[in-house]
């Protein structure tokens, strides 16, 4: 009888260990497949100038959150502001204007495995965002940031990841 009880207990232990291994592997695989971090957009009433620190993760809810904000970006090619209403319009390193009726916080999931996104700039004025791990192009002559409802000159050393800036670039 003692043998039967020990055998039964050993069988339960094996099942418990197997179950624990399956759970741990599942958590590891989930973490490896969808590694994300977050970015919090702290929007104040009125106009806000923002950027994505990294590309969004693949969950459609993230893109939907941004598109509902009615993002506006400056299109250098046509020299005008355009609304962002497609997924192709939402990119890390691009500066976006967002108008908010009230103070609100938007939490976004980001793809941490994506490569560092360097700001893409052309000669002249650009609405560009500071991304995580990127280096700011050295050709910036003038940089303006949006703070407390007005533009203020910004020094390169004071640029913050997640913020967007108007910047004038030479050649």
Q: Of 116, 122, 112, 153, which is closest to residue 135 (Cα–Cα)?
A: 116
Q: What is the DSSP string of 40-74?
A: EEEEPSEEEEE-BSS-B-S-HHHHHHHHHTT-EEE
For the entire predicted model, the pTM comes to 0.73
**Worst-scoring range by mean pLDDT, 4-18, 45-59, 83-97, 137-151?**
4-18
Q: How does strand 140-147 pair with strand 150-153?
A: antiparallel
Residue 15 confidence (pLDDT) above 70: no
Q: What would the two tokens of residue 114 be?
A: 């994506």
**Which tokens in the block code for residue 18?**
């197997």
CB 142 within 8 Å of CB 95:
no
- Beta bridge partner(s), residue 37: 110
Query: How many other C-beta atoms lie within 10 A of the C-beta of residue 38?
Result: 12
Task: Parse the chain into domains and list their residue ranges.
Answer: 36-169
Alpha helices by DSSP H, listed for the chain, are 2-33, 60-68
* Separation of alpha carbons 5 and 17, rounded Å: 18
- Is it the case that residue 26 has pLDDT exceeding 80? no
The residues facing 111 across adjacent strands are 36
Distances from the Cα of 136 to the Cα of 44, 77, 160, angstroms: 26, 21, 11
Q: Tens of pLDDT along 89-145?
A: 889 999 999 999 999 999 999 988 888 888 888 889 999 999 988 888 778 889 999
Output the CA–CA distances (angstroms, integers) from residue 44 to 51, 107, 158, in the order listed: 15, 15, 21
């Amino acid at each position: 009888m003692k043998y039967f009880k020990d055998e039964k207990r050993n069988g339960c232990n094996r099942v418990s260990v197997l179950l624990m291994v399956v759970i741990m592997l599942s958590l590891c695989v989930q973490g490896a497949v969808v590694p994300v971090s977050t970015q919090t957009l702290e929007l104040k009433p009125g106009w806000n100038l923002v950027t994505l620190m990294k590309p969004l993760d693949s969950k459609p809810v993230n893109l939907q959150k941004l598109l509902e904000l009615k993002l506006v970006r400056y299109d250098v090619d046509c020299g005008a502001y355009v609304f962002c209403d497609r997924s192709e319009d939402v990119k890390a390193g691009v500066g976006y204007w967002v108008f908010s009726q009230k103070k609100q916080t938007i939490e976004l999931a980001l793809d941490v495995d994506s490569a560092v996104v360097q700001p893409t700039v052309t000669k002249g004025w650009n609405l560009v965002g500071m991304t995580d791990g990127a280096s700011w192009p050295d050709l910036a002559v003038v940089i303006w940031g949006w703070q407390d409802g007005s533009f203020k000159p910004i020094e390169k050393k004071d640029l913050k990841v997640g913020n967007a800036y108007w910047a004038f670039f030479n050649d």
